[in-house]
Structure 1
Amino acid sequence: MLGFRKNFKNVGAQYDEFLLDSIDRAKDKWDKAQETERAVSEIDEEIIAQTQLSKAKYLFLYREARERNVHNNRIQSSVIDY
């Protein structure tokens, strides 16, 4: 039983790390969708829908991390300007 508890705590930490990685990827997708929307001269409903979907995914993951009280010690890749 003690081994199971250790494993269970490790699963939570792994999920938190996965959640942070997912947030980073979702933010990148949202940023790219916004750039595409700005770059295209004729915006159709599909492009708008993709941008809204990317935003919704990012905000969902962000809220999940806040509810789980997950904090990040790294700088989000979308913030860094190369």
Structure 2
Amino acid sequence: MLGFRRFPKNVGRQYDEFLLDSIDRAKDEWDQAAETEQAISEVDGEIVAQTRLARQKYLFLYREARERNVSNNRIQSSVIDY
């Protein structure tokens, strides 16, 4: 039909699931980076930068999920302390 493609109707739900999985991974990376920073006695700038980057990745994905109104019991708003 003139090159028009039909997209599946559940693409949004698939993206939402992918986004939730990404949030879970980002939270784990942030927790691991924070634990590493606390465990090392001589913290250098690179370790601090990795922790900040992991936190910013998590916050970016979390905001994206909030803008898309993704609701699920997997995201806890209490994990963010401003």
Give the TM-score normalised by structure 1. Answer: 0.81
| Structure 2 runs not aligned, ≥5 long | none
Moved over 2 A (4+): 73-76
Task: Report the Cα distance in structure 2 between the residues aligned to 1:17 and 1:44, rounded to whole angstroms.
Answer: 36
* Structure 1 stretches lacking a partner, 5+ long: none
Q: Percent identity?
A: 76
Structure 2 Cα separation of the partners of residues 55 and 18 of structure 1: 19
Q: For each residue in 1:18-77, what CA deviation from the matched residue of structure 2 results, as whole angstroms up to 9, or x when unmatched? A: 00000000000000000000000000000000000000000000000000000113477x
Give the corresponding residue for 1:25: 25
Whole-Å Cα distance in 2 between the matches of residues 26 and 74 of structure 1?
13
Q: May I ask how many residue pairs the two structures share in their alignment?
A: 74
- 2: CA distance, partners of 1:67 / 1:11: 17
